[in-house]
Chains A and B, each alone.
Chain A
Amino acid sequence: MLRIATPYLFTAAGGTIAERSGIVSLGLEGYMLAGACGAAFGSYYGGNAWSGIVWGAAGGALFAAIHALATIRYRADQIVSGIAINILAVGATRFAIRVAFGSSSNSPRVSGGASGLLEFLGLLSILGVAGLINRTRFGLRLRAAGEHPEAAATVGISVSHIRAMAVVASGILAGLGGAFLALDQHQFSDEMTAGRGFIALAAVIFGRWQPFRAGAACLLFAAAEALEINLQGTSAIPSQFVAMIPYVLTVVALAGIVGRSVPPAALGKTGH
């Protein structure tokens, strides 16, 4: 089950940071996909999983940086930019494997390994993000930037810098999540993230933008998925319905049926 949860944990951890700083992170799916592709390339050309991990993080960071540039420096609408990033990531990764490997859907098999370490790091990332947000100077400024950027500006904090760092951090983490996927499956395939970035975002929202709750949501969603795999063929519940669970749960949470879900006050508002 941890195997399923790890991509979610990494990505949700990253999503929490970025969203708490006030930047809508619809692009998590794209960062993850870029990370998966980067990891496949890194592992292929570098010959081992370590270069895969590094290039995976870099891939996610790259696409996150594009989002940060567009939304923070150029004040583009964060929702549109996020969707564009996702479309861009799909296209760019397809293009990359086409040009490099001549295939339209898969990369060649790459060496994996480091799964155990990455799973551990995935859990650690939630812990780390919680500590970062609640116990450090950066985290306090991050929270201020996400709730009341004007107040932060009046004490001389650069809200733009904080948000940019937060977004790139989310890209690195989501990239690691994608890297795990690719290394675990020993290849990159077209659109392999298959909506996991959105499930991670759903976990963030379901967890009310708090790292531990988001992490718990990730584990919950992963458990449901693991259960379904184990029961495949024998279950009375069709697989599609199990796949729906994370999404339905989050919609229910958003409808306030399990208590009000209040996002960071400045989320999505360009302006500082």
Chain B
Amino acid sequence: MLALENITKAYGTVFANYNASLKVETGEIHAVVGENGAGKTTLMRIACGELRADAGHETFDDRDVTGWNVNAAIAAGVGMVHQHFMLVPTLTVAENMILGREPFFLNPRISSQAVRELSESTGLAVDADARVSDLSVGEAQRAEILKALYHGATTLILDEPTAVLTPREIEELWKVLRGLREKGGTVILITHKLDEVMAIADTVTVMRNGQTVGQFKTNEITSDDLALAMVGREIPPAFIPARRTKNGAPVLEVEDLVVEHAVDGVTFSVSPGEIFGIAGVEGNGQHELIEAIAGYRRVTSGSILRGGVPIERTTVRRRGALGIAHIPADRRRRGLVLDYTVAENLILGRERSFGRFALDRMKMAIEAQRLITAFDIRPHDPRLLARQLSGGNQQKVVVAREMAGIRDFHVLLAAQPTRGIDIGAIETIHAHFRLARSEGRSVVLVSSDLNELLALADRIAVMLRGKFVAILDRDDATMETLGRYMAGAA
């Protein structure tokens, strides 16, 4: 039995965990659930010894193990399977497996054999001699789980394991987890997907804002109860219908677009004044699709037309001049120069409008003030570094620049625009999307939040393994139909 009590962990002034507690019984499948940024991963990394809490206790099998390290945890049979795989790409599966408990002189034959035996007994099919870099995502995850089991894990912690799996692979994973439970093992599952929790877990602990808000048995509650606990309020699927004046030539046309290893022939067009949503489990090519339309990912074949002009071979800058704006999925890496000030970030990509040689600082200051006010970017100081802002305000900087900055747009490509940010910022951004639509501008919205899509989009496409498997009108789109298409079951 694993228990965490009053765990607190802070990074600077931000509390990743605050007085969080968790009690997991042996032999159960226990889900830890919460929105992105709720602190689930941090808590579990403390549990398995990778991180040290600032305060709080941990007990394992009635032993006080507070502050233990990874080696002690592994020795006790607690192993973690990370969201971002901890496998060395240039080594084989077997070599990764034995890392940490190798004999002095390596014997590849013996280690391969051991891996193969374990693979068979657990039902996790993986090629022991394959290089990790050659594995598919599903295979790599199986290898990662196998690694934890090889190290003797009887308590397995999995961090968002289904994010990159196909529906069939998810079913296989459930089989493996149930098998482990049968043999007396314990499974802790970190996830933000409520349907998974209801499908596989016996017990669920809900986390919100770094704190644990409740523990429930899954056969005693409904997923609505869970959703309420996760966000602390009702989620109104409020859809404000667009004025149906979709006249005029399409502002964006994509035909048979192929992007290597990600997009396998996608065709769609967007009309003026339309919000076109793209739903799908992350990792099915949505981000690559957006990056290809934005201009910084190579297109293998196919065409992209912006207002009738082919742009699939033009530069990012040219596409911007033709009216394409872009909110990247990774705001910290792609959307902002974190070490630039807010004012400098607000002109990123548009710096040529502020001077050919010398930059017009007065003009920059005016622009910064205008956008900070319009989007209520806090703190209201253009000289702060973007790094110093909260996630929500950072995102507002990107949105302000792309939607209301000096360069006008006809089509906005928005990838996960509201991921990991607070309610207030979400509402601001949604309001601006609706405003754009009413002004005749269009938005291509990629989101893994079905509620967001159902609230905003006029049409919703479902992307699965690089293709659009459906394009539905809003009237025809429900949670269930979308879910079925996303799972490949429709």
Contact = CB atoms under 8 A, between A and B. Distances in A.
Contacts of A136: 104-106
A1 B292 CA distance: 55
B171 interface: no
B98 interface: yes
Interface string A233-272: 0000000000000000000000000000000010000000
A156 B70 contact: yes
B69 interface: yes
A127 interface: no
Given A140-B99, A141-B99, A157-B100, A147 B106 contact: no
Given A135-B106, A154-B70, A154-B80, A140 B98 contact: yes
Contact of B89 (A139, A148, A152, A157): A148
Nearest to B104: A137
A163 interface: no
Contacts of B147: 155
Contact of A148 (B50, B80, B88, B100): B88
Interface of B: 50, 69-71, 74, 80, 82, 85-91, 95-96, 98-106, 147, 151
A144 B103 CA distance: 16
B88 A144 contact: yes
Nearest to B100: A155
A154 B74 CA distance: 10
Residue from the set A139, A140, A154 with the largest chain B CB neighbour count within 10 Å: A154
A143 B87 CA distance: 12
Nearest to B103: A137
B105 A154 contact: no
Nearest to B107: A135
A147 B104 contact: no
Contacts of A229: none
B80 A151 contact: no
Contacts of A141: 99-100, 102
A150 interface: yes
Given A148-B86, A154-B80, A155-B151, A140 B105 contact: no
A140 B50 contact: no
B328 to A, nearest CB: 23
Residue from the set A147, A148, A150 with the largest chain B CB neighbour count within 10 Å: A148
Contacts of B71: 156
B73 to A, nearest CB: 9
Interface in A146-195: 147-148, 150-157
Nearest to B50: A154
B99 A157 contact: yes
Contact of B70 (A134, A140, A148, A155): A155
Contacts of B50: 153-154
A240 B86 CA distance: 48
A229 B99 CA distance: 48
Contacts of B102: 137, 140-141
Contact of A151 (B74, B86, B104): B86
A150 B86 contact: yes
A147 B96 CA distance: 12
A140 B151 contact: no
17 contacts: A137-B102, A137-B103, A137-B104, A137-B105, A140-B91, A140-B99, A140-B102, A147-B90, A147-B91, A148-B88, A150-B86, A151-B87, A152-B99, A153-B70, A154-B70, A155-B100, A156-B69
A141 B95 CA distance: 10
A134 B108 CA distance: 11
A144 B100 CA distance: 10
Contact of A147 (B70, B74, B88): B88
